[in-house]
A and B are shown apart, each in its own frame.
With several copies, the nearest count.
Chain A
Amino acid sequence: MKSLFPHMTHQVQLETESLALSRGDRSLIEELSFKLTSGDVLWTQGDNGIGKTTLLEALSGLRRPDHGTVSWNENGKAVQASRIIAYQPHKSYAKAALLTEEDLGFWANIYNSKHLVSEALNFVGLADFTKITTRDLSAGQNRRLALAKLIISQKPIWIMDEPAAAMDKTGAQLIDELISRHAERGGIAVIASHDTTRKLSAHTRKLVLRAAA
């Protein structure tokens, strides 16, 4: 277990300053400022279509804000999002034609963490499904594969979009365990979810988005 969740050696920060985001002619978020530091967990909640996914994309550096800034820090120095962010989108991004272990193995190659692959597959409960193509994985198994990718990325900031959708009960517990371990070792997690929020670290916070009156 230790090797999957080594203690973070760097301090990281994720900060937004008067962030504004919109899609088409719909303004979604305005003047949002917050700051997360090592060990923080942020639950993002709000109704369907309020802008959670859009926010998470901006936090991952995949969407340029209309106004304001998102900044990523490592040991007090500003860095590129891609250095410290891992993002689990709502949809699976597994290659349909690859075996489960090949798909994970590819990303392990990119992240230089080949040695973690089989342990990570074990941890998320896919040990029996390494030899089938990801096309054949069930909905929940696909989400588990995405969790394994978060783990092997070894990145300090996890951005997770509805990780518990389509997950069974043990799956939901698995996610909780992952997040609290990650916070303990000094990581940051931002989660968008319709699940009830749970206090998974000493610094769990909740970001609630409500429609303007």
Chain B
Amino acid sequence: MINYLANPIRFLKFSKIATPVFGALTILTMIWGLYLALIKSPPAIEHGQAVRMMYVHVPAAWCAMMAYTALTIASVVSFIWRHPLADSAAKSFAVPGAAFTFLALITGSLWGKPAWGTWWQWDGRMTSVLILFFIYVSYLAIWSVIPERKKAARLAAILAMVGFINIPIIKFSVDWWNTLHQPASLSTPGAPGMPPEILWPLMMMVAAYSFLFGWLSLRGIEADIIRSRKARDQKAPAAQATIETF
């Protein structure tokens, strides 16, 4: 599948169908999920109505991390095989990834005010998400300061890969350092599960965010491929070279 799609023309063919499908799925799940989350689900006992922030916040935080994983994989492919499509993909994962991270930060702090009485706490989880945001921004900054595409792709890939090694370190160090945030309850095996009336809308929103991520990335890759083809087609003709002996 990946090998098949590695050819940009085939990829464009694929994305011609896939992009609208992802778009439609995003809209469907988003509407359904928002309905479940904002209207249907009950307010929580300790958080009150503020619990609804969770349906925006938690999927954003998850997608931010998922996007970084995708970014790292694309970077590895780009670095080792120098595949231009991987460059496009990596770049296109980073933009929504940064956006999700930002959203997780914003919704988290909006939630923090009612939940903990402050917009921000310098606790481990939040700090590590902030750092993730810094990594995303540096990654995008490298693309923007280096005009030569291939060079920018390689340098950005190096940063993304080193950054990935860094992520467990960050998580580990800040967890150790100071914690106030909710521990992972879904992702930890054996942790107390959530009641289904909360779990369902949450899952629906997670699906919606994931489709949104897919849709944004596909569009980014498409646009990038088209842009680089256009640049290639417009090339002026080369010089005529002749070799003469004396």
Contacts and interface: CB of A to CB of B under 8 A. Distances in A.
A51 B240 CA distance: 11
Interface of A: 20, 22, 25-32, 34, 46, 50-51, 64, 133, 199, 204-213
Interface of B: 147, 150, 231, 234-246
A211 B241 CA distance: 9
A205 B243 CA distance: 7
20 contacts: A20-B238, A25-B236, A26-B236, A27-B236, A27-B238, A28-B238, A34-B243, A50-B239, A51-B238, A133-B147, A205-B243, A206-B244, A206-B246, A207-B242, A208-B243, A209-B239, A209-B240, A211-B240, A212-B239, A213-B240
Contacts of B245: 204-206
Nearest to B151: A64
A131 B215 CA distance: 34
B241 A207 contact: yes
Contacts, number: 61
A212 B246 contact: no
A206 B234 CA distance: 30
Nearest to A213: B240
A161 B150 CA distance: 25
| A-B residue pairs, 10 tightest by C-beta | A30-B238, A212-B237, A27-B235, A27-B238, A209-B239, A206-B244, A210-B240, A199-B246, A32-B241, A26-B236
Contacts of B243: 34, 205-208
Contacts of B235: 22, 25-27
Q: Looking at A27, A34, A207, which has the most chain B CB atoms within 10 Å of its CB?
A: A27
Contacts of B236: 25-27
B186 to A, nearest CB: 46
B239 A29 contact: yes
A212 B231 contact: no
Contacts of A209: 239-241
A212 B235 CA distance: 13
Nearest to B232: A25
Given A27-B236, A207-B241, 9 more contacts: A27-B235, A29-B239, A31-B241, A204-B246, A205-B243, A209-B240, A210-B242, A211-B240, A213-B240
B238 A208 contact: no
A25 B231 contact: yes
Contacts of A28: 238-239
A53 B150 CA distance: 20
A208 B242 contact: yes
Interface centre among B150, B238, B245, B246, by most chain A C-beta atoms within 10 angstroms, is: B238
Contact of A211 (B147, B239, B244): B239
Nearest to A200: B246
A65 to B, nearest CB: 12
B242 to A, nearest CB: 5
Contacts of A199: 246
